Chain A
Amino acid sequence: MSTTSPEQGATAPAPADLAPPTAPDRPSARRPEPAPAPRIRRILAHTVLEARILLSNGEQLLVAIALPAMVLIGLRLLPIGRLEGAQPIETALAATLGTALISTSFTSQAIQTGFDRRNGVLRWVATTPLGRDGYLAGKILATLLVHVVQVLVLGLLGVILGWRPNLLELLAVVPVWLLGTIAFGSLGLLVAGLLRTEAVLAVSNLVFVILVAAGGIAFPTSSYPRLLHSLVDLLPSGALGELLRACLAGGDVTGGSIIVLVLWAAGGSLAVARWFRWTSV
């Protein structure tokens, strides 16, 4: 026989201040209607969360900092990937910044977003005041924040290895850096939004290695065989590599590279808007 209700004995009180704005019998508990935090605060909150996740994860740090640092040291010391008339450290640093940008904007974002999608984070976020646009804005800002950390750490390492930065060169890198982030960030989101999580891991890592080693990042496209040269020039990595070398190592700025990178950034963004899936259903 039931002599107690299921809830009897639940002695722990609920939080005292749970009353919603329309609490019917507690006028003293009336509060303003639930409202979202200001938009900028929501986006910054998400930026901080994403950046902390990226920078507190050992594997992510390996990809974001350690791997590009190895590229920098390797290209500084080995007689490969150099441009005539440029200091070895300059071509090495250009290749390193390209590697860092692709690792964070493409590989890390693809993997993290892929897992977020599988774990239902994207579904939950879409029901909160942050929303889908706030999620994407926060993610982009977090990526840029991580890039700043990368540039500072790798730039310091470059100085130790003999790099002498020039302010004009650095300013010229900024638009290239932003374009590259949009292009590779949108491609990372596309991979995360279209493939299964396991495939995202495999594809994003494989593409990263191929683009860095053979896609115009570690080596100038002019050093490729003639047949490959034109193909690599059309890759976003080829265009990014050439533009970074032009800014940091005195290479030639080609309009073709700018157009290629702009097209990848625009095409990637449109593709994300068209095909990105927020759920695994």
Chain B
Amino acid sequence: MTDDITAPASTPPAALRIEDLTHSYGPVRALDGLTLTALRGQVTALLGPNGAGKTTAVSCATGLLRASGGAVEVLGRDPWNAGPEHRARVGVMIQDGGLASGSRAMQLLRYGASLHADPLDVDQVAEHLGIDDFAGTLVRRLSGGQRQRLALALAIVGRPELIFLDEPTAGMDPAIRRRVRHLIRSLADTGSAVVLTTHMMDDVVGLADAVCVIAGGRTVASGSVQDVITAHREHEGVVSVRAVAHGVDPAAVPALEADLAAAAARHGARLEITGAGAADLEAVLLDLMAPQRAAAQGQDAGAHRREPGTQVQDAAEQEGTLR
């Protein structure tokens, strides 16, 4: 018997499984059959507009809400009935921080660590995330970015196997944001499953192994960033690839771009070179959400379709709608 060389590489085990999840707040249907899986060793990004159901889904997965229907399995357990042993394996950074405003930053981090049997070295985490710069400051006097860093530190200090991060880099300066992205990548690379919700496409393109696009309480697209972009845009005759060129002499960049464009032209294609895939992904998201927006505005969904080639500009124009 020979190995099937076409078979995919072994899939890491799932840390989170959500199937056909439904939940309502009174008459408002927040989740309407949501399905998603997050694997160990991967960063999974939940994307969607405000009110799409991301926070409700995470609330169900962290045991804060009991879903009306469907199934949630977190590390093999129903989170609604889980005890402290289960919660020690899951780290959560919630949307509004969840930080006691009357405590001081380092005091709160040490308290968070003391809830776990074998936490990370608090001083090391504080140093890495720059928390020692404001260790003695009252939480209510911290800036938004500083609060984010502290909330992130509290989410990871128990060495969790599954980590939920809500807008982890919001309000951070570029240097800290880069460091936090590196940290999140390290967490996944060492075997944790990371589930993050974000509106920052740079975070998604730079970090996520898988994305799940949620709109109207259900999954409208999922897969790798590349898969989602390709699946959505190939019918428009658009193929997106992400290439990183190493060892390029800056002076040779224009020539290299021209050569690539010429190669594309030989196949009858027009090459559009962008700095990263974030704008592409954002354009796809806007398209995927167009039916919901159109329904909300009582307009024809087709009116929101854009001509190929105008999507990046449209995405930039509508950035405020997404965030």
* Chain A residues proximal to chain B, CB less than 8 Å: 1-7, 9-10, 12-24, 26, 29, 31-39, 41-42, 45-46, 48-49, 52-53, 56-57, 112, 115-116, 119-121, 123-131, 134, 278-279, 281
Contact = CB atoms under 8 A, between A and B. Distances in A.
A20 B182 contact: no
B88 A36 contact: yes
A101 B256 CA distance: 77
A17 B120 contact: yes
Contacts of B161: 20-22, 33-34
B178 A121 contact: no
Interface residues of B, number: 73
A4 B190 CA distance: 23
A123 B158 CA distance: 17
Interface in B144-162: 151, 154, 156, 158-161
B99 A119 contact: yes
B60 interface: no
A119 B101 contact: yes
Contact of A121 (B98, B116, B202): B98
B318 interface: no
A14 B186 contact: yes
Nearest to A112: B102
B257 interface: yes
A42 to B, nearest CB: 5
Looking at B40, B84, B101, B111, the one whose CB has the most chain A CB atoms below 10 A away is B84
Contacts of A18: 120, 156, 159, 183, 186-187, 190
Given A4-B244, A34-B116, A41-B114, 4 more contacts: A23-B190, A46-B111, A52-B107, A119-B101
B253 interface: yes
A113 B25 CA distance: 24
A13 B183 CA distance: 8
Interface in B95-129: 95-103, 107-108, 111-112, 114-118, 120-121, 124-125, 128
B87 A3 contact: no
Contacts of B12: 24
B41 interface: yes
A19 B178 CA distance: 20
Contacts, number: 200
A20 B159 contact: yes
A127 B79 CA distance: 10
Interface string B67-106: 0000000000000000111011110101111111111000
Contacts of A41: 114
A35 B120 contact: no
A20 B161 CA distance: 6
B298 interface: no
A128 B87 contact: yes
B179 A6 contact: no
B103 A23 contact: no
B273 interface: yes
A57 B100 CA distance: 13
Contacts of B242: 2
A2 B205 CA distance: 13
Contact of B116 (A3, A36, A53, A126): A36
Interface string B235-270: 000000011111010000100110000000000000
A105 to B, nearest CB: 18
A2 B276 contact: yes
B191 A33 contact: no
13 contacts: A2-B275, A7-B178, A9-B178, A17-B124, A21-B161, A34-B158, A36-B84, A36-B85, A124-B92, A127-B64, A127-B90, A128-B115, A129-B115
